[in-house]
Structure 1
Amino acid sequence: MALSFLADKCKSMHQLMQIHAQMIISSRIDDHFAASRLLTFCALSSSGHLSYAIKLFNKIENPNNFMWNTLIRAQAINKNPDEAISLYINMRRNGFAPNEHTFPFVLKACASLRSLNCCSQVHTHVLKSGLDLDLHIVNGLLRSYSVSSDIHTARRLFDRFTNKNLTIWTTMICGYTQNFLANEALLLFDQMISEGFVPNSVTLSSVLSACAQSDCLELGETVHVFIKTRGLETGVILGTALVHMYAKNGAILRARELFDSMPKRNIATWNAMICGLASYGHAEEALNLFRKLKEEQIVPNDVTFVGVLSACCHGGLTDDGREIFGSMKRVYGVEPKIEHYGCMVDLLGRSGEVKEAEELMKGMVWKPDVVMLGALLAACKYHGNVEVAERVVKQMMDLEPDNHVVYVVLSNLYAEAGRWEDVMRLRKVMKQGNFKKTPGWSLVDDVV
């Protein structure tokens, strides 16, 4: 028994391995209590080693529920959701019944995988186990359904659950916000307040995100006043939510004041400010913030580059955009995504580098979407590039065969170039295709 208690007091893997060796020599390793202490340290301690825990677990004959739960929990919190689910399946195959300590971490793994099928199956097991009224499990189900984009099932669960606490309300509000259903999130928040629940920092962060999505500056300001009145600490998460809310609602000066006053900021805070500045045309200021990231020793991520490339696009800063895009992988190790290519195609197109934009688009591993093609077509129209426009229209028609507006744009380009035979040919194609003039098409053409 003394060795088991020593395992609880371990401070390093070196110490634990010595105790493990003594347990093997003294045959104490076959004792489940002793083995579970070793497993807990290896799997869950910050000084532990998960791979060692897995080897230890595989050597234990007939591991008990506690051991299964410990390893499932370790895999779930170490961002190995597939491994956590595999362990759960093996646990059931070996005849062990999951309990109230199993499901929260299995559901955490389901949420990480964003697998609706996985969540539904685990939900069935929860019902069969009679644990559908457990607060932690219900909270896990709400979160898992929400991140798997089944917000309707999450809401049904929420409505049926009578013993709601603040965490349950917060998870549901957060679920709506994550699914960009801001109005529903704000209505639920209003209901929560009317039922006497006092929001905490996590709740308010979600509400502020909803305010950012729905342009509710007034409500966001009210939440800010509530935070001050209650004396809630404006840490990184809540502070970032406030910066994001003000920036998205166009209150750039207020957002910048908050940003500058924050003693601690993470990359999400910087992204909120950079993207806000970019959205409202403050291109140089956004670039200056991006340059300061290096001084602060904060590593930018893919969201940062979407923001700063958008700033270059809005500000017409073509050379800066090229340099930043080129540095993404080379300097920062960030692989460009389709959003980054979209920003560059838009930037190059606006500056008249239509062929360069087309070549960049051809070099992508993805097929361009309608938004990217539309931006390039708009550039072709503005700069009178019929050659590239013809190719872009073909690609757009492959994606949206009924989108006659692109033919209208191309027809106008032909007309401006004096290519009247092509104008008549295209109009004949449109007529044969039974394309109908829809209300507002000329307005769309003007925008394009």
Structure 2
Amino acid sequence: MKVLILVVPVLIFSSPLLSFPVDVKPNPPVSDPVLPTEKEPPAFPTSSPGVEAQSPGEAAVRAVHHQDINKKILIALVVSATLLGGILLLLSCFWFYRLKKLKSSDTKANQNSNAAKGVSLGPILDKITSSKAFGKKGSIALIEYPLLVAATSNFNEDNILGEGGLGCVYKAQFSDNFHAAVKRLHGKWQDSEREFENEVDLLSKIKHQNIVSILGYCIHGETRFLVYELMQNGSLESHLHGPSHGSTLTWHLRMKIALDVARLRCISELTRGLEYLHERCNPPVIHRDLKSANILLDSTYNAKLSDFGLAISGGNPNKNSIKLSGTLGYVAPEYLLDGKLTEKSDVYAFGVILLELLIGRRPVEKITEAQCQSIVTWAMPQLTDRSKLPKIVDPAIRNKMDLKHLYQVAAVAVLCVQPEPSYRPLITDVLHSFIPLVPVELGGSLKVA
């Protein structure tokens, strides 16, 4: 821009339109006045060797010579203005080319950054408008709302995968080979915005192959959308309490799912599910809503944790600074009654999930119109009785497991749901007790004949 400011005035003042020819027309010769004298001046010779007499013809020649000089100056000014105009045009072209090149390099750098951080949307990558999340929420892709509308067939009811307290989850088809899950959070609820920001913040920091990956987000008016990888076999809850009533899950598959929740494998090192959240994350993360509906299964029944909207990061939170949240039947008694929240609260919820896997009943069931009963209250007296335990096992797996293994799993479940948090085991101890119960081909150490 400085170049443009300097060049434009030069161009203006050097323009031919502002160049005026010099009037060099000669004036008529003026005779010298003759002063009266008493004596005549001495006679001089008409010519001398050192003096050249002037004549009217010689004045005309000099005028023509001046006109030729003015024409040359005018031509020089025109040429100079043309050259300056050309230089200005070249500078402008170079300026626009430089801007275009910088914009192209920035776009390419953003795409490379997204690939390095694991944000991969496959066929819809070119539809993403930005790779930066708002605030300090890491680098999760911002997806255009019309793309979500098209992928979910305008959020058709036939595409609903599940429904929660704050909205529905839809199956989205972005291309023939790329599917995802879209969670829609309604803005009319006050907690939806907080859970939306919390989930984006945590999942942008916690990356693990056994934690459901978040692919992107969308903000449309008061509605918020989260886009996840699609888990083909749905939730553990749908298998246990849905139309199949647990028939799709064998004993070994159930033990594998329990092991996956407690253990996750990385390429470089062995890390663990709840242990990964409780002990490997710094500061620790308390999920706070661990339940069968939030355990999702992929095409080969690998379990992944989902829904971190209520999760808390930061060690031991102040009970006065958090709102009591969770799902009835999974909430630990000390948290429900006193607001005390620790990693042992997640261990209690894990114990309830173990009871679901063993017995096949819901965490809370209605007995009468005005009375409900929890699975913990109902099962606890029978879990420690070896004669009664086989009779309360889910009919889909009854008599299909080694009784010794059944007693061991029941004992772990009983410890996890103890009313006193200090009596509950560490999730690391739970992990080591499950590895021998899962076949080698499913990730454990059990050798099945």
> TM-score range, shorter-chain basis?
under 0.3
Which has the larger share of strand? 2
TM-score, with length taken from structure 1 = 0.23
Which has the larger share of helix? 1
TM-score, with length taken from structure 2 = 0.23
